[in-house]
Amino acid sequence: MPSLLAHIASPQDLKKLDRHQLLELAAELRAFLVESVAKTGGHLASNLGVVELTIALHYVFNTPEDRLVWDVGHQTYPHKILTGRRDAMVNLRNPSGIAGFPRRSESIYDTFGTGHSSTSISAALGMAIAARESQSDRRSVAIIGDGAMTAGMAFEALNNAGDMDANLLVILNDNDMSISNNVGALNNYLARLLSGRFYDSVRRSGKKMLDIVPPVKEFAKRAEEHAKGMVTPGTLFEEFGFNYIGPIDGHDLPALLDTLSNIRELKGMQFLHIVTQKGKGFTPAEDDPNKYHGVSKFDPCNGVSHSSSTQKTYTQIFGDWLVDMADQDQNLIGITPAMCDGSGLNAFAEKYPQRYFDVGIAEQHALTFAAGMACDGLKPVVAIYSTFLQRAYDQLIHDIAIQQLDVLLAIDRAGLVGADGPTHAGSFDLSYLRCIPNLVIMAPSDENECRQMLTTGYLHSGPAAVRYPRGTGTGAVVDKTLLPLPIGKAEIKRTGKRVAILAFGSMLAASLTAGEALDATVVNMRFIKPLDNEMIANMSKQHDLIVTVEENAVMGGAGAAVMETLQSMSITCPIICLGLPDVFIEHGVHETMLAECGLNAVAITEAVKKRLATLNG
């Protein structure tokens, strides 16, 4: 039998199929996803869960004229495949390949670039207003998951949308609950009924008639809410001003097609609640959707990963430390904004469930929640990705730093993150953290130092941050004791001549290799704030050239801090600041990305030789 998917190069091709053929297409698309992601790695479970929804959206709506805005974007592989990028999936998240998230520069069907959660309703509402202002019949659709709906920004958008006169559809993809009997034939029938034009016209005309009799209108409104509430959970969204429809089975393609076709003809604010299953159609992902949320290359037959590394990652080092420190201090509290597995809190959550708090995708709340705990004697540790900490910057300054509260930030994914690209890179944390008063900032050079720094930050009286990279380190032996480091003290790792390389965090290993080639002094700086000013002064006096190396933006980073320190001490000396350039760095292989940024041993060596040549000249 010829493949249907092979002939789909655009939604226009999709629309040529008969509706009964779409079920076959869904099966082909799901199989293609498993085979494709098995070869490249990427997000799997979330994409398997939206196959039918994606087909239905592109079949019913006039894309790209109608705008589809995907929240977060880790569920957009089916969307990419159906919009002309099927063959490009072989290079998904690879250098020069397509991104793992929507990119406006990649396709006209990617209407909004994403990577962080809870932005879809705001963006789609803006597009709906733009359509209204241009008197266009263009439709805007926001597709948001139940996790992303926990963030305050999503509710801010819903609240604002209720006051708008625009055509907006919000689709809540609810995959936290199982598809049980309450999401079956009755609900699918009700969704088709409630999304129909007859019901909509009756509802609208009835409201107009009742406007002249307010008490009766209020009674009718409550009667409608109670009637809907018997079979649907939509009262909250109705209060925001949306017409709530659902929940329906998000894998029932005929029901989706009928309901979306009806909604496409309605005016105003519509809210469709669908229920899906993460990992749908691939048993390993159905059984453990968290494990198959983001995967490395695997065997598509059984889901077994091809990765064979037994070396612990920095995330696992943090997880081990958290449990060990919690064993010693009953006041330790672990907090994460919806990243238990990604941030390494699983073991802690299992051992100390009463001291573990997953606050959902609510980074701002996470930090102020921690601040409140610290006010009354608890010792919170907030495990958060560098890129997500950006979303809680005001809370870090206002609620933690100003009040000098004992909160430890365990900042994961600092620096470049490879295949996830610029939306997830931790390129800026040293720059945006070091200007905050009262904050101690550390960057470990290996796994053992990471554990020591976590202890240092935890025992410090006041706010502290430890930023560590994604993946594994140098394989250093980890001392299981919980001993702190002297705050603000660097250490000389190699003594040489003429050149002093001041390495921050993950850049020490490459700096040592370069130091051997150059016969340079290499210093493990360890602390970004406070800096070891005495070490910096001595290095500048004893060497002809100072070189700073960091896996962070050069602008405002650790190198800039070193220059400020030298200036404050009225020391003038040649200096090179090596770090991430002033661009958003595209996805790729981490080692290659570092080389292209001039941050591997070869590039560091060449940069130093070039500068020495100018000094000699």
List the catalytic residue out of 52, 363, 447, 551.
363
Euclidean distance between CA atoms 94 and 81, whole angstroms: 16
Strands 527-529 and 440-442: antiparallel
List the catalytic residue out of 278, 379, 451, 529.
278
**Residue 428, amino acid:** F
Nearest C-alpha neighbor of 409 from the set 399, 398, 396: 396
**Residue 170, amino acid:** V
Q: Hey, is 171 helix, strand or coil?
A: strand
What are the C-alpha distances in Å from 346 to residues 320, 339, 349, 353?
Answer: 10, 10, 5, 10
- Please give the backbone phi and psi of residue 91, each rounded to the nearest 5 degrees, phi first: -115, 25
Q: Output the CA torsion 395→396→397→399 (10° steps).
A: 60
Active site residue 413: no
List the catalytic residue out of 85, 391, 413, 470.
391
Structural contact between residues 103 and 176, judged by C-beta atoms closer than 8 angstroms = no
**Residue 191, amino acid:** A
Active site residue 391: yes
Q: Which residues of 303-325 are buried (b: 16+ CB within 10 A; e: fewer)?
A: beeeeeeeebbbbebbbbbbbbb
Which of the 8 DSSP states describes residue 461?
Answer: S
Query: Got the DSSP string for 547-583?
Result: EEEEEEESTTSHHHHHHHHHHHTT----EEEEEE-SS
Classify residue 130 as exposed, middle or buried by CB count within 10 Å of its CB (0-12, 13-18, 19+): middle
Structural contact between residues 508 and 524, judged by C-beta atoms closer than 8 angstroms = yes
Nearest C-alpha neighbor of 270 from the set 278, 262, 280: 262
Catalytic residues: 278, 363, 391
